[in-house]
């Protein structure tokens, strides 16, 4: 018997695969297809329902991705999400609000629901929904037959044509930060589309093994492993999959944290990886990014060096790279952020070392890349790792990106202080004051993701009383109203800031000095967090070294980015009033140690969601 299927049409959204994952969590098979898939091909598959994803573009743009309007006449239930809702309303001759004058919505937003509607069955009349959009459906110009079934303070958040079973939501039910979002997906899949529950992770693991066998054939496989759960799962899966060719496992020691390589080698041994080849190359990575400040330049240089080292390993081991396949732990998250998702419209948020370097892309063009994780996310990888027998110290390991410390050393440049900077600074001060806080813009830029597009904009700093809810409200409002800000930090210190902080810049590029300093900052900070018992309840702990010298100490600023998430497509900062994850006492202890012993002038915490900020700063 064939299993029920929900098709997701991809318009380049950052969360497209999360939609498919949410459907799978409802135990229904789901597959993603490009938005321009032929309508006859869709009909042939007999899907029980269709979901239209979000995307980075406006329905009014000249080359906006569209679907055949006859999709809505097939009699198949349709759910549009974000751009998908706007597109549905637009193609059915409704109106859209767009342009700089329209209020944008990013991050957690209160949404009022018609809880009597089948799409919102078993939900309260108000939830916290996750938003990431610039355009909005025009309440005064809904398509014929549609009514509003959800609202925010600013905009329509849900529409329905019950007669044709066509629905739309502006928020993202597929992300974990939307309250009971999975219930909304389940309501659509089960209650509206009538699907049964048949899909399991065990099915996916067997499909992955078959994918490896079909892709590799009789050839050898080279597997690069980092010790993280993604690549270690692939190595273990590869080890459990019978293929005729040889298997090679390689670990490259790049810009790792203090003690990291020793931990990685031990973890891989525990996972049963035999005959591990280790290549030490930290100094070469430092040289590769010498003099660079731009995050994309650094990521690409690091990725290209990884490719060079992969070729060197092949030569040293006598491996014929022309007849060998490369297996790696690439998640769909990596593909999405690198603009390499299913469809053609995804924006490049940041380059990943395992997506985009010439060596890997050449292999991809030749069809010699093996990526069993390419359709799933971090929480699904952890589930799969446990299912194939990997120990908890591997399956639950916090992620550490391939570019390592190289993308955690962030420069501060004087040419960023200009008229735009001062205008932004005045507006930040104004909004912060409404929450009883001080606000400043720092001469630092970081990478963000807003409306499914990459941004590279200013960092704002908040100071004042430790009222966490006020801090979070200010941190959420500022990037919604000031589009030149994508990240907010909070200063846990109480020293006075003089206006001349704008004159204080310390060049902060990747050098032996900054790498060694950040290694110590990261090691000490993580040790303190571990001593307070918070480590198991934090999804990722990141320490950043920045060139902002806010107190005129001639010392750099250290930042803690500690987050909660399931899949890393959305994240939230850990709360210092959450007794399971963080405390002000722990933060004070970190700040005191770093300032006293590690040449740090200021210690701040990142209080931004993703979106509008990315998890890592660069």
Q: Which of 155, 172, 190, 352 is catalytic?
A: 172
Residue 586: active-site member:
no
59: left (phi over 0), alpha (psi -120 to 50) or beta: alpha
Tens digit of each residue's pLDDT (9 = 90 or more) over 88-98: 999 999 998 88
What pLDDT, in 10s, does the model give residues 319-338?
Answer: 887 789 999 888 765 555 54
Asked if pLDDT for residue 354 goes beyond 60, the answer is: no
- pLDDT above 60 (res 348): no
Which among 5, 57, 174, 260 is annotated as catalytic? 174
Average pLDDT of the residues in 68-81: 96
Give the whole-number percent of the chain exceeding pLDDT 70.
94
Domains, the chain, in order of start with CATH, read 5-192 (3.40.50.880), 201-403 (3.40.50.620), 409-606 (3.30.300.10)
The DSSP annotation for 35-74 comes to TT--HHHHHHH--SEEEE---SS-TTSTT-----GGGGGS
Residue range 358-370, pLDDT digits in tens: 777 788 888 899 9
614 touches 560 (CB < 8 A)? no
Residue pointed to by tokens 């799978």: 24
- Please determine, for residue 352, whether its predicted confidence score (pLDDT) is greater than 70: no
Whole-number Å distance between alpha carbons of 300 and 309 = 14
Q: What is the pLDDT of residue 390?
A: 86
Average pLDDT of the segment spanning 179-194: 96
Question: Tokens 């069809």 sit at which residue?
Answer: 367
Which region holds residue 490: left if phi is over 0, alpha if psi is between -120 and 50, else beta? beta
pLDDT at 325: 93
pLDDT band with cut points at 50, 70 and 90 for residue 18: confident
Partner residues linked to 8 by β-bridges: 32, 51
Segment among 142-146, 329-333, 405-409, 440-444 with least mean pLDDT: 329-333
Range of weakest confidence among 17-31, 453-467, 497-511, 545-559? 497-511
Q: How many helices (H) and strands (E) does the chain have?
A: 17, 24
Question: Would you tell me how many other CB atoms lie within 10 Å of the CB of residue 430?
Answer: 12
CB-neighbour burial class of residue 563 (10 A; exposed 0-12, middle 13-18, buried 19+): buried
383 is catalytic: no
Is 233's pLDDT higher than 50? yes
User: What pLDDT score was predicted for residue 561?
Assistant: 98
Q: How far apart are CA 101 and CA 136, in angstroms?
A: 12
Active site residue 174: yes
According to the model, what pLDDT value does residue 336 have? 54
Among residues 5, 57, 82, 616, which one is catalytic?
82
Instruction: Give the per-residue pLDDT at 103.
Output: 79
- Flag whether pLDDT at 355 surpasses 70: no
Taking residues 516-532, what's their average pLDDT?
A: 97
CA pair distance 299, 231, nearest whole angstrom: 19
The 10s digit of each residue's pLDDT in 118-137 is: 999 999 999 999 888 878 89
Task: Compute the average pLDDT of residues 528-544.
Answer: 96
Q: List, for residues 297-313, the tens digit of each pLDDT value.
A: 998 899 889 888 988 99
Q: Burial level of 571, CB count in 10 A (0-12/13-18/19+)?
A: buried
Per-residue pLDDT reduced to its tens digit, 478-496:
998 998 999 999 999 888 8
**Alpha-carbon dihedral angle through residues 360, 260, 487, 175, given to the nearest 10 degrees:** 70
């Amino acid at each position: 018997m064939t299993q029920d299927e929900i098709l997701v049409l991809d318009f380049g959204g950052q969360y497209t695969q999360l939609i498919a994952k949410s459907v799978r969590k409802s135990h229904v098979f789901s597959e993603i297809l490009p938005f321009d898939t032929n309508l006859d091909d869709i009909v042939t598959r007999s899907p029980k329902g269709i979901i239209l994803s979000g995307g980075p573009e406006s329905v009014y743009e000249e080359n906006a991705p569209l679907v055949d309007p006859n999709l809505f006449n097939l009699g198949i239930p349709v759910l549009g999400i974000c751009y998908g809702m706007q597109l549905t309303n637009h193609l059915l001759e409704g109106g859209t609000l767009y342009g700089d004058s329209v209020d944008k919505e990013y991050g957690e937003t209160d949404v009022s629901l018609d809880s009597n509607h089948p799409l919102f069955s078993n939900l309260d009349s108000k939830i916290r929904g996750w938003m990431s959009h610039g355009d909005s459906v025009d309440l005064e110009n809904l398509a014929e037959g549609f009514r509003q079934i959800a609202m925010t303070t600013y905009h329509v958040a849900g529409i329905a044509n019950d007669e044709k079973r066509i629905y739309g939501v502006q928020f993202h039910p597929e992300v974990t930060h939307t309250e009971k979002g999975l219930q909304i997906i389940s309501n659509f899949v089960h209650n509206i589309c009538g699907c049964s529950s048949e899909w399991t992770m065990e099915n996916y693991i067997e499909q992955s093994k078959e994918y490896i066998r079909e892709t590799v054939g009789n050839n050898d496989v080279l597997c690069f492993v980092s010790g993280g759960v993604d690549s270690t799962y692939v190595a273990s899966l590869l080890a459990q999959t019978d293929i005729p060719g040889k298997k090679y496992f390689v670990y490259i020691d790049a810009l790792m944290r203090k003690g990291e390589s020793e931990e990685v080698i031990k973890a891989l041994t525990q996972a049963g990886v035999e005959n591990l080849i280790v290549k030490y190359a930290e100094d070469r990575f430092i040289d590769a990014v010498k003099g660079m400040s731009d995050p994309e330049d650094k990521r690409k240089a690091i990725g290209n060096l990884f490719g060079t080292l992969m070729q060197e390993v092949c030569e040293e081991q006598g491996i014929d790279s022309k007849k060998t396949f490369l297996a790696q732990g690439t998640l769909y998250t990596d593909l999405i952020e690198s603009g390499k998702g299913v469809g053609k419209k995804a924006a490049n948020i940041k380059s990943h070392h395992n997506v985009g370097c010439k060596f890997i892309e050449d292999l991809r063009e030749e069809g010699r890349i093996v990526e069993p994780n390419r359709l799933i996310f971090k929480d699904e990888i952890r589930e799969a790792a446990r299912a194939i027998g990997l120990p908890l110290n591997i399956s639950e390991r916090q992620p550490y990106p391939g570019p390592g410390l190289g993308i955690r050393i962030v420069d501060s440049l004087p040419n960023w202080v200009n008229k735009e900077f001062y205008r932004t600074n005045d507006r930040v001060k104004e909004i912060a004051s409404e929450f009883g806080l001080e606000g400043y813009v720092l001469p630092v830029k970081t990478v963000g993701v807003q409306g499914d597009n990459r941004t590279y904009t200013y960092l704002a700093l908040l100071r004042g009383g430790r009222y966490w809810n006020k801090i979070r409200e200010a941190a959420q409002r500022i990037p919604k109203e000031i589009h030149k800000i994508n990240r907010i930090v909070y200063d846990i210190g109480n020293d006075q800031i003089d206006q001349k902080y704008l004159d204080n810049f310390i060049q902060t590029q990747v050098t032996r000095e900054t790498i060694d300093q950040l290694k110590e900052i990261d090691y000490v900070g993580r040790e303190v967090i571990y001593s307070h018992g918070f480590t198991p309840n934090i999804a990722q702990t990141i320490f950043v070294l920045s060139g902002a010298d806010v107190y005129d100490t001639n010392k750099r600023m250290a930042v803690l980015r500690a987050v909660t998430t399931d899949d890393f497509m959305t994240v939230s900062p850990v709360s210092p009033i959450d007794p399971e994850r963080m405390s002000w006492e722990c933060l004070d202890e970190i700040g005191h140690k770093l300032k006293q012993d590690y040449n740090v002038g200021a210690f701040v915490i990142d209080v931004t969601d993703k979106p509008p900020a990315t998890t890592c700063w660069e």
